[in-house]
Structure 1
Amino acid sequence: MKIRQRSEPGQWRRTLLTAAVSTVFGVGTVNAGQCLEGDLRAPAGYYQIPESDDGGDYDCERVEPHDGGLSLTSKYQGSDDARNELNEEAQQAYKEATEKVRSFEKAVIAAADDYQVDGDGTAALSCLMDNLDAWASEDALLTDDINHVGQAVRKWALAAAANAYLRAMASAPEGALDPAQSERIESWFRRLSDGVRAYYTDRDPDKINNHDYWAAWAVMSSAVATQECGDWNWSLAKFDEAMGQVNSGGYLPRELSRETRALEYLNYAMQPLTMIATFAEVNGYTLHERYQTEFRALANNVVEGLESPELIENLVGHEQITEGLYKSWSLAWMEPWQVMWGDVSGMQGFLEEWRPMKSTRLGGDITYLYRIDPLWPVDARPNPPGDIQLRDS
């Protein structure tokens, strides 16, 4: 059975604004940044005019839709509660089962970069849209044959796909996108968001971790693409939930419990949390200001831990696994953080070493997207591209 579309009155369109979100932001802030359908926007970098078509041939990677179930094997199968020991056989099975999904994520984001950054023109734009449309038309990833691992895979795919689409719709010339194609894609996003929300709502507090933050980022990205206030408000409430987990030392206990991978997962949690706060900021919700104590302490601790992993080792009593941690995609969250809220001690060094920062699930070429100031006046509508200014960095 497929996930149903939003047909019943109120189904999955419930507005949390007067309840959970009002609690999060207070009446004054809600009034200043209240979600109105048709008014949600991405950071200004998404609106940058694509480079000119270079006139060359474009090789589009077409990825056939995933047509199976999503009951998948965890790469940590057999590990204890810390979930920190890789099972090589299970990891290989996981890679094979998710190959199409991961290829799809990379293909749509690569096409967005090819179109907006590299100047591959309408061929790249068509490649992006055709891939999204093919998956949407086949109801890909909308299955009841899904376990907790499959839920994770589905939300990551939504995050990548929604950001790729956002970049296309924000930067393409008027009339460049096929309305029927866009409607199929946006309908698919809504149904994927339904599935993500259904699984990650009302979770046991002891189970809430980075997966919930990634779910919120995926649904928020979809919300901007589809102008769904219910999804937007749900994501804001999940951020509040995350900040409620930050302990007095400025750490996320559930990520610390990963023992040898505590630093890896603290950094992994910062990726969606930073993006949620960034998107919220440009829509008038000052999450960083409201949670400055918790959020900035968490960022400071992660950067300090990346500079000196022994700090986390001393905290959790386990030597930290850092293989694969120091990569552009892993540290990409630092780019929007620094643009939005200034430097954290040590952050600039990582940015200088690893730029350009690129992350499929955060939107693609992050350095390109955030080389401009993403803030617009709360009470003013942006007028891209006229009021977009490149930064000097």
Structure 2
Amino acid sequence: MKRPTWILAPCLLGAALLAQPLLAASLVPPAGYYAPVPVTDKKARACQATPQPYTDKLVFRSKYEGSGKARATLNKESEKAFRDKTSTITELERGVGKQVTYYMREGQPEQLECTLQWLSEWAEAGALLSTDYNHTGKSVRKWALGSLSSAYLRLKFSESQPLAAYPQQTQQIEAWFIKLAENTVHDWSNLPLRKINNHSYWSAWSVMATAVATDRRDLFDWAVEQFRVGANQVDPDGYLPNELKRNHRALAYHNYAMPPLMMLAAFAQANDVDLREENQGALKRLAERVLDGVDDQDDFASKTGEKQDMKELKKHSKYAWLAPYCTLYACTADTKALKHKMGSFNNFRLGGDVSQLFDPKKPKDS
């Protein structure tokens, strides 16, 4: 395991610090990740050809190209260019999430082997590791890492130990995840507060998932620190000032910030780090502001001076954060009803079937 650089300090304090990681407990995910793989007689799904590994420079057009400081007006031409150039990356993310979800429901070894084949081929190619990137490119890298490592966690920690028979592939995949995570830390560290928004939270989530998958305490600590920065941006009324700048998409982006923040808190809690009281209960305050806003947009409209765009907020997958939320907090009856109405939640950015991780008694989708 790679050690944090401070461990190398040539002094007695350094020697004392050196002992700490050796004594620290291994990092773990929330309890739902230990779910066993079922034994079924369902017919195996066909494994599609591995998407072409993306090894080119990470320079992409933004879908908000030309929209000004608010970055809130969609440019259809640049969005198409972005989708076309990143198509194999998205195919990998969505495909791995689906395969792992199917495997954890159906238990067909072909599904596991297909997942490992896709990941190991991208790892072997050194995909997504280019040092030539723009803002959209480094964003794509951290989104991909979060999708892949969070799905992989379900295989890593299942009590059935499905990865035990594949040591060479898992070693290769995890080494690639670590390289992606270290790049992500480099890409998103030391930003001025005015530039820290949902991108930083999603970066922290991708690094947290990788930290637990590879037992890297230094990556875990970085992710927790990014959560704290985010939590301390929440104002007394539950708003994120940098997301209010998105004008008519402000509410949508407040909601978009919720999944990574909630998953970070859930993973920290599993490792005896309670982040719920950070900045006087900022996470719950933010969640309540978002839920109130979804019910009635007047406050967000008043804050931004614009009517809120609710298009994205009609998609149930955008509320996947409710699954961990109702394990971290005592949800109200209304929130529980909303969660029940919208679930099961499946969000590939969070590794697939989120409901089965935090609410395992909920009926599974077919």
What are the superposed Cα offsets for residues 363-385 of structure 1, whole Å, 9 maximum, x if unpaired?
A: 2111111115xxxxxxxxxxxxx
Where does residue 132 of structure 1 map in the other structure?
Answer: 119
2:327 is equivalent to residue 357 of structure 1 = no
- The SS at the match of 1:79 is coil
Q: Is the 8 Å Cα contact of residues 300 and 344 (structure 1) preserved in structure 2?
A: no
Equivalent position to 1:366, from 345, 350, 354: 354
Matches within 5 A, 1:95-174: 95-117=83-105, 119-171=106-158, 172-173=160-161
Separation of aligned partners in 1, 2:7 and 2:296: 45
Deviates more, 1:289-298 or 1:265-274: 289-298
- The SS at the match of 1:325 is helix
C-alpha deviation, 1:37, in angstroms: 6.1
What are the superposed Cα offsets for residues 329-380 of structure 1, whole Å, 9 maximum, x if unpaired?
A: 20000111012212157422321221111100112111111115xxxxxxxx
Residues 160 and 37 (structure 1), Cα distance of their counterparts in 2 relative to 1, 3 Å cut: farther
Q: Is the 8 Å Cα contact of residues 299 and 344 (structure 1) preserved in structure 2?
A: no
What are the superposed Cα offsets for residues 141-178 of structure 1, whole Å, 9 maximum, x if unpaired?
A: 00012111011110010001101111111114366441
Matches within 5 A, 1:37-56: 39-56=26-43
Q: Is the 8 Å Cα contact of residues 96 and 151 (structure 2) preserved in structure 1?
A: yes
Q: Is the 8 Å Cα contact of residues 288 and 295 (structure 1) preserved in structure 2?
A: yes
C-alpha deviation, 1:120, in angstroms: 4.0
**Matched letter for residue 49 of structure 1:** P
Where does residue 253 of structure 2 map in the other structure?
Answer: 265
Query: For structure 1, which runs of at least 5 residues remain unmatched after alignment?
Result: 1-5, 16-32, 373-389
**Matched letter for residue 132 of structure 2:** D
Matches within 5 A, 1:1-393: 10=4, 39-61=26-48, 62-117=50-105, 119-171=106-158, 172-173=160-161, 176-344=164-332, 346-372=334-360, 390=361
Q: Is the 8 Å Cα contact of residues 232 and 279 (structure 2) preserved in structure 1?
A: no
Where does residue 380 of structure 1 map in the other structure?
Answer: none
C-alpha deviation, 1:10, in angstroms: 4.3
What are the superposed Cα offsets for residues 77-110 of structure 1, whole Å, 9 maximum, x if unpaired?
A: 0011111101110010010011111110001111
Separation of aligned partners in 1, 2:184 and 2:312: 28
Where does residue 12 of structure 2 map in the other structure?
Answer: none
Residues 164 and 13 (structure 1), Cα distance of their counterparts in 2 relative to 1, 3 Å cut: farther
Residues 37 and 77 (structure 1), Cα distance of their counterparts in 2 relative to 1, 3 Å cut: farther
Alpha carbon RMSD of aligned pairs, Å? Answer: 2.4
**Matched letter for residue 261 of structure 1:** R
Q: Percent identity?
A: 34
Q: Is the 8 Å Cα contact of residues 13 and 231 (structure 1) preserved in structure 2?
A: no
Deviates more, 1:183-192 or 1:304-313: 304-313
Q: Is the 8 Å Cα contact of residues 146 and 349 (structure 2) preserved in structure 1?
A: yes
Separation of aligned partners in 2, 1:279 and 1:236: 9
What are the superposed Cα offsets for residues 278-299 of structure 1, whole Å, 9 maximum, x if unpaired?
A: 0001110110134453221111
C-alpha deviation, 1:324, in angstroms: 2.4
C-alpha deviation, 1:197, in angstroms: 0.5
Deviates more, 1:309-318 or 1:161-170: 309-318
State the structure with bigger RCO (CA 8 A, min sep 6), 1 or 2. 1
C-alpha deviation, 1:246, in angstroms: 1.0
Query: For structure 2, which runs of at least 5 residues remain unmatched after alignment?
Result: 10-19
**Matched letter for residue 320 of structure 1:** Q
Where does residue 382 of structure 1 map in the other structure?
Answer: none
**Matched letter for residue 263 of structure 2:** M
Q: Is the 8 Å Cα contact of residues 323 and 339 (structure 2) preserved in structure 1?
A: yes
**Matched letter for residue 124 of structure 2:** S
Separation of aligned partners in 1, 2:8 and 2:82: 35
**Matched letter for residue 37 of structure 2:** P
Separation of aligned partners in 1, 2:291 and 2:318: 12
Q: Which is richer in helix?
A: 2
Deviates more, 1:283-292 or 1:345-354: 345-354
User: How many pairs align?
Assistant: 352
Separation of aligned partners in 2, 1:191 and 1:12: 19
Residues 188 and 75 (structure 1), Cα distance of their counterparts in 2 relative to 1, 3 Å cut: same
TM-score (norm 1): 0.84
Q: Is the 8 Å Cα contact of residues 14 and 230 (structure 1) preserved in structure 2?
A: no
**Matched letter for residue 145 of structure 1:** D
What are the superposed Cα offsets for residues 201-220 of structure 1, whole Å, 9 maximum, x if unpaired?
A: 10111101000000000000
